[in-house]
């Protein structure tokens, strides 16, 4: 029986950060998915991963990420990339979170680098954060998806076993360890399709 619904943030509740990467690439004339390929190089220990584990502050990240980009053969403005990452809210997914919250425990599982100084400055985002029973942020707990410890922290915080969870993420690499632990997983590509799949799993309407 499903007792908890777990949601990624960017790429699930918000539009994908890859959209922001591609927009930057179009603006600067870089080949499509340059940033995505850069981030997939040494993905556990590169500047992006270290930022999400709070091992680098924004300034340290900008310096390291731009250095990695130069080694990769491109010139990037890391500060502009960070500034453009705030995605568009997907209302249907927000409604699904609310409906799940009426009957199930809910948690947000996000790899992030949320600047504490921005909390309270974006009411729409803060409202979404407040909808969840538990929020597990990589920058707070010091580990990130797809590390197994991240999912264990989430399950412990909610008080459920992995097999009692359904987890939505837009990246297969993040879903794979969750599925291996026993979670039901849904890959979010088309949000409407994902919500329909979630309805089938939880057994009640989410619209």
**What pLDDT does 114 receive?**
67
3-state secondary structure of 4: strand
Interval 37-67: pLDDT, tens: 999 999 999 999 999 999 999 899 999 999 9
**What pLDDT does 113 receive?**
87
Domains and CATH numbers, the chain: 4-15+87-202 (3.40.50.1000), 17-83 (1.10.150)
**What pLDDT does 85 receive?**
83
How would DSSP label each residue in 117-159?
GGTTS-HHHHHHHHH-SEEEEHHHHS--TT-HHHHHHHHHHHT
Residues in the chain where the model's pLDDT stays below 70: 114-121
Torsion sign across C-alpha atoms 29, 32, 34, 39: positive
C-alpha triplet 15, 116, 121: angle, nearest 5°: 65
Interval 187-196: pLDDT, tens: 999 999 999 9
CB atoms within 10 A of CB 26: 10
Interval 74-88: pLDDT, tens: 999 999 998 888 889
pTM attached to this predicted model? 0.92
């Amino acid at each position: 029986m499903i007792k908890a619904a777990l949601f990624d943030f960017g790429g699930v509740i918000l539009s994908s950060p890859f959209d922001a990467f591609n927009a930057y690439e179009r603006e600067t004339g870089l080949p499509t998915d340059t940033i995505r390929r850069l981030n997939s190089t040494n993905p556990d220990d590169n500047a992006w991963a270290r930022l999400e584990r709070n091992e680098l502050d924004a300034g340290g990240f900008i310096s390291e990420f731009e250095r990695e980009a130069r080694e990769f053969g491109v010139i990037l403005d890391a500060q502009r990339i960070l500034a453009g990452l705030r995605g568009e809210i997907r209302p249907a997914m927000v409604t699904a979170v609310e409906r799940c919250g009426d009957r199930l425990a809910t948690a947000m599982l996000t790899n992030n680098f949320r600047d504490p100084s921005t909390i309270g400055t974006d009411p729409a985002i803060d409202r979404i954060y407040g909808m969840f029973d538990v929020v597990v942020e990589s920058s707070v707990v010091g580990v990130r998806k797809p590390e197994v410890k991240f999912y264990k922290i989430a399950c412990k915080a909610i008080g459920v076993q992995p097999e009692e969870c359904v987890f939505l993420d837009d990246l297969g690499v993040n879903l794979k360890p969750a599925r291996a632990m026993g979670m039901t997983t849904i890959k979010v590509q088309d949000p409407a399709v994902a919500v329909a799949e979630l309805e089938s799993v939880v057994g009640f309407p989410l619209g």
